[in-house]
Structure 1
Amino acid sequence: MLRTGFFVIFLLLSSVLCLEDTVEEFQEQLSFKSLRDGRVASTFSFKTLLKDATPRDPQTLALDNDDSQHYTLFPLTLGQILRQYAITELHLTLNAGKWNYDSWGYPDEPGVGVGAELWAWMADGSSLSIDERWQGVRNALAGLFCASLGSLDEQRTTSPRLSFPPEGSLPDWGLPHELRHASHASEHVCTENLTPFLKLLPCKSLSGLAALLNPHRLFDADWHGMSLHVLWRPVGIEMRLNFQLVSDPLRISTNKKQDWSFASLFDRVVEKACPVAKSSRVIVDLPTYGVYRVHPEPSEILNGKAYYDLTNSNQVWDIGTMWPVDFEYPLSKPTEALLPFSVRRSLFGSTQDRGQLSIVVTNNQNETLQMLYLETMPWIVQFYLHTIRVHSDDIPSDNLVSNITYVLPVPHARPATFESVLTLPGHSTLTFTMDVAKTFLRYTEHPPDAQRGWDLPPAFLHPSYSHRTDLPTTLVASIHHPYLLI
């Protein structure tokens, strides 16, 4: 009996020690950034790499003889969904709150639109159509994350041409790949979504950086959101699980200090590292203003960032930053812009049948900016393209909008898709307006609490510079109806 016990312990230790020699790799990272309004932005990132793996060829779905899936670190439940529907690339975000670009800058994870957003790249050529596989993966992810993703049906699904390029590579099967995208602004992230999120991690919330994911503090933040990204690279299939939040240390502290630490932000500390993590580190963006102290001493300081290595560490970690003086809110709006451009989006009109959609984009740079602009509206909102008006610094400039693509909505079946390219001269403000019509709805088609109105999906803005690569590539602007303010 004693000999058998030693043999079992030896096997367990051997499986842990030999993980580095397997085809799977797990890394975790936590980054902090002090914002100029006193808040702190935190981003958890957990990456699992399945080396030398490729997505399933959709032509093999008809054979129904897929190889058995055996994973050590990669979540089996997610792997089975990807194989079942032959998904090449998948992205899912669940967010609650409104990201303040003017005060917080650009987020680490660009998908910060309110509600749920799901998009996937799939190859054609299967016995099942892409729309059938899209329906299946929506329902499967709804069960996996306890979210209402099944409501992302054909009435919310679009296929934009340019707005969502693949982040990874697409296998060369000689088959065309197609995009399916859907969003639902009324779906938010909560505790029932966080629990299955943690189950996809190899160490769950028992050790490592995931131990800091305390739901009582996460969902008390000013903004929070989680995301899942699965893509294929030449080295293998990569899965990233991310959780972002913006906390307000001034609100939860007893004084006017913007001090923060693991204990103050999450009411937890890291007591032990995740034993299967190849790397585990914490990155703190050092503030460029005031006098402060970072504790404990970082392992390395490079390019204005402090790095902490928690890999295979057994000590208790409570990393934080302290300021000796009280924080003072700025009395006026800072003159220095955090982003190369700023956006404001509104829906005007007090009647129940007409309105006007307005986009105001300010270019804060000297260079001319070309921006891909996408709107995906449910069929209850219809665009009048002949009413498009474009002004640059209050001067009519209709030539600044080009490459317009418009897919008409089909009542009860398909949303509207509007795609165009906006050109912004340096240090200018472009105003884009377009009249819209609000469809008359049957009484059975109104959502609960009809007086509140409808939540409309966010817009998508993708700036492109001909000679600059250091600028953000994606901006998702959050909007609501009936007020639709950014």
Structure 2
Amino acid sequence: MALPPKATFPLSLFLLLPLLLLSLVLATTTQQEEFSEELLLKPLPDRKILAHFHFQNEAPLDADSFARHHHLFPKSISQLVQKFHIKSMELSFTQGRWNYERWGGFDPISSHNAKPPGVELWAVFDVPPHQVDASWKNLTHSLSGLFCASINFLESSTTYSAPEWAFQSALGSLRYGTLPREAVCTENLTPWLKLLPCRDKAGLSSLMDRPSIYRSFYHSQRLHLTMSSAPSDGSRSGIILEQTLTVVLQPNDQNADTNHVSKAKIQPSWSLSSIFGRKISGRCVLAKLSTVYLHADKGLVAQLENLHKTTAQFADNDTGPEDYRVNSGFKLSVTPKRVHTELGKDSSILYEYPIKDYKDTEQFDLGLSWEHPIVWSSPHAPFYASRFLMGSGNERGAIAISLKSTEMTQGLVTNNIEERCKLQVNVLQVVPWYVKVYYHTLQLLIDERPRVLTDFVERMRVSPSEDKVSPGMMELVLQFPCEMKSAVLSIEFDKGFLHIDEYPPDANQGFDIPSAIISFPDFNAALQFYDKSQSKSPLLSKLQEKSPVLSYTEVLLVPLTTPDFSMPYNVITITCTVFALYFGSLVNVLRRRVGEEERLLKNKDASKAVFLRRVLTKLSAKLRGRPLESTTSPSSSSSSSFVSPKLILRVLLVAGIAIAWQYYSQ
């Protein structure tokens, strides 16, 4: 029966209503997910270039986000957060060591992205205390399969610890572990790039040329995960995933027209195509923000101002922004869209280049050419931190942490002459269980003079190591006077013995002690820029975020007593030889019948001799013409005995060898 014409329109509207609701839900979901890509370029004082890639992905965290598909956010990361109840997490793969003396240590890049060699992982869980270790072990296995690395080695209780003062986190729910010897290669970078919406096919990530990255002096890929809370009720409302790649490159010298004298002092000119071998062909279409920044730090800006005063060659640029100047120090191949100046007297400059202003057919290739030789230094942390080993031999030794003052502490002394100034330094040192540290031997030298430790230690937390169970950990909160020039912390240890199954394949190379973490909570590494852009930049927000200054020391290589790994081979060889001789002789004796064989041989020889004698007798009788005389030869009655003296001697010899072997083997 056909429906009346009046009911056709309401029925079609009723059928299309679920589709409209579904499209509305998908539209609101995709609008809440945001992705941004940014690149920060920074000239370094030692003729190198710092390239810092920053990708940020945000997604809401709903009750059904574990099962649904995301539009931009990687689903694997969302499932990790939901399954293991992660509040915050950071994973880094690093090759090389950050040079704090030349590249600086008092800026957000060095504090957040200067990581120790190998793999570093820390995570904060939102679970009861008795479930933290189980969540950590499951997380390490999941990350190991996700990033194709040996992170699952951190599941053992001998490889991770639970610090309380080094990280700003909840008490008791944080776990921290490192793998200093983990090799970093493209197998780790490829899964990291797959988490990006455009991967490395478009946008700023297309600059990541593998040979350019892995021949750099330092590169560190980092993944930072945090839970954002709603400002109203404080409940978890979303996930923020930050992916950063920090690379220090050596550009090719393009100053072909400079003379030989000035070429040794002038900085090498560079461009994106010269350091990465590629140009930016457009932005990622899924990115809300795609920007390239060029940062000139305070030391470089101060030298440019001095050069301006001496040469007076600054001129206004009519085509650029109002506060953009073409200086005599360097020239930029592309005019910046905006210029951000740091607030304060000694300010740094940040040039901004939005990629959306360039067409897809127009490739973006930012270049910088130096006009005059300029020497400057990057801002440093209050102290240079280094670590080394003392002692010799395979029995005992000592670990020493050295702190040397920088120009920042000298400035604090001049500004606080009347008041007594103090600097707080936090130290976190984790040692493996086979390095048996004696914490009562902790000594402190200030300006090469021994001092009483209790006068400078405000707090101290020690967790002694347990053999094959947990590593040793020491946390110190120290208060040093600002006029201090140097300080040395030393502690003695004994080298333990390992079972032969616990030695790695390259045991003769030595065993690694992870880097110590030195933090300065009284100082914040932040750059306060006046943001002129309409859209909020995640990278600028990260640079302006106040966080304590962190420094990592060197990884120590401790030689331990190693056994002779060829001895098992020698023992196996001689044992097999003795057993072969023993069982071979025994089987030979038991299976052979010596007496019967000798009797048969004698009978055969006797029968052959009798037959030959008979033939000769018949032949001589025929020749003489005489009849054949019947001669009866009596059979030999003497037969060899079945048991001979040689057989008895052999059996006794084999039995004696067997008895001696059993006696000495027991």
Per the normalisation by structure 1, the TM-score is 0.85
* Match status 1:208 vs 2:211: no
Cα pair 1:228 1:241 within 8 Å, conserved: yes
> Kindly tell me: are residues 67 and 356 of structure 1, through their superposed partners in 2, closer, same or farther at Cα, counting changes over 3 Å?
closer
Tell me which moved more, 429-438 or 336-345.
Answer: 336-345
Which one of 152, 164, 167 corresponds to residue 167 of structure 2?
164
Residue in structure 2 matching 1:141, options 134, 140, 143: 143
5+ residue gaps, structure 2: 1-22, 231-237, 257-262, 305-328, 342-348, 413-420, 527-545, 560-666
Q: Residue 311 of structure 1 corresponds to which residue in structure 2?
A: 356
2:446 corresponds to 1:392: yes
CA contact (8 A) 1:46 1:240 kept: yes
Distance 1:102 1:454 in 2: 27
SS at match of 1:119: strand
> Which shows bigger deviation, 356-365 or 309-318?
309-318
Asked if 2 retains the 8 angstrom alpha-carbon contact of 1:362 and 1:427, the reply is no
Deviation by residue 1:5-62 (Cα, 9 ceiling, x = unmatched): xxxxxxxxx99x96896110111111111111111111111000114x37x8xxxxxx
C-alpha spacing 1:73/1:277, structure 2 compared with 1 (3 Å) = same
User: Contact 1:378 / 1:415 at 8 angstroms: preserved in 2?
Assistant: yes
Q: Matches of 2:121 and 2:254 in 1, distance apart? A: 34
Higher fraction of helix: 2
Going from structure 1 to structure 2, the CA distance change for 1:311 and 1:234 (only over 3 Å counts) comes to farther
Match of residue 436 from structure 1: 493
1:296 aligns with 2:334: yes
Distance 1:468 1:187 in 2: 29
Paired residues for 1:244-255 under 5 Å: 244-250=246-252
Change (3 A) 1:206 1:383: same
Change (3 A) 1:196 1:67: closer
Deviations 1:431-461 (A, max 9, x none): 1111111112233322222221112211111
Cα deviations by residue, 1:234-290 (Å, 9 ceiling, x for unpaired)? 252110011111111158998865112211111111101101111111111134346
CA distance in 1, matches of 2:220, 2:525: 29
Instruction: Name the SS of the counterpart of 1:84 in structure 2.
Output: helix
Matches of 1:427 and 1:337, distance apart in 2: 19
> Which of residues 265, 272, 284 in structure 1 aligns to 2:275?
265
| Structure 2 counterpart of 1:103 | 102
One-letter amino acid of the structure 1 residue matched with residue 498 of structure 2: L
The equivalent residue for 1:69 is 68
CA distance in 2, matches of 1:90, 1:318: 35
Report the equivalent of 1:346.
388
In the alignment, does 2:330 pair up with 1:285? no
Distance in 1, Cα, partners of 2:249 & 2:200: 20
* Alignment deviations for residues 353-376 of structure 1 (CA, whole Å, 9 cap, x no partner): 211111111233125211110011
Aligned to 1:23: 32
Tell me which amino acid in the other structure corresponds to 1:280: S
Distance 1:93 1:253, change over 3 A: farther
SS at match of 1:388: strand
Q: Could you tell me the TM-score, scaled by structure 2's length?
A: 0.63
Is the CA contact 2:254–2:270 (under 8 Å) kept in the aligned structure 1? Answer: no
Shift in alpha-carbon separation, 1:252–1:419, aligned structure 2, 3 A = farther
**Partner SS state of residue 379, structure 1:** coil
User: Which of 530, 554, 557 lines up with 1:481 in the alignment?
Assistant: 557
* Higher RCO structure (Cα 8 Å, ≥6 apart): 1
- Matched to 1:97, the amino acid is G
Which consecutive unaligned segments of at least 5 residues does structure 1 have? 1-13, 57-64, 171-175
Question: 1:345: Cα distance to partner?
Answer: 0.8
Q: Which moved more, 1:115-124 or 1:285-294?
A: 285-294
Aligned CA distance change for structure 1 residues 87 and 69 (closer, same or farther; 3 Å): farther
User: Does the aligned pair in 1 maintain the 2:437–2:491 contact within 8 Å?
Assistant: yes
Distance in 1 between the 2:391 and 2:241 partners?
Answer: 44
The structure 2 residue matched to 1:457, chosen from 502, 511, 514, is 514
Quote the offset at 1:177 in angstroms.
6.0
Secondary structure of 2:388's aligned partner: strand
Higher strand proportion: 1
Q: Which amino acid aligns with 2:336?
A: P
Indicate conservation of the 8 Å contact 1:95/1:113, yes or no.
yes
1:226 aligns with 2:224: no
Q: Percent of counterpart pairs with the same letter?
A: 28
The answer to whether 1:123 aligns with 2:126 is: yes
Measured at CA, do residues 258 and 84 of structure 1 come closer, stay the same or move farther in structure 2, by a change above 3 Å?
same
After superposition, residues 363-378 of structure 1 pair within 5 angstroms as 363-364=405-406, 365=409, 366=412, 367-378=421-432
After the TM superposition, which of the residue ranges 248-257 and 95-104 deviates more from structure 2? 248-257
Whichever residue aligns with residue 266 of structure 1, its letter is F
Contact 1:460 1:475 in 2 (8 A): yes
Conservation of the 8 A alpha-carbon contact between 1:372 and 1:421 = yes
Indicate if the aligned counterparts of 1:369 and 1:464 stay in contact, CA closer than 8 A: no
Match of 1:173 in 2: none
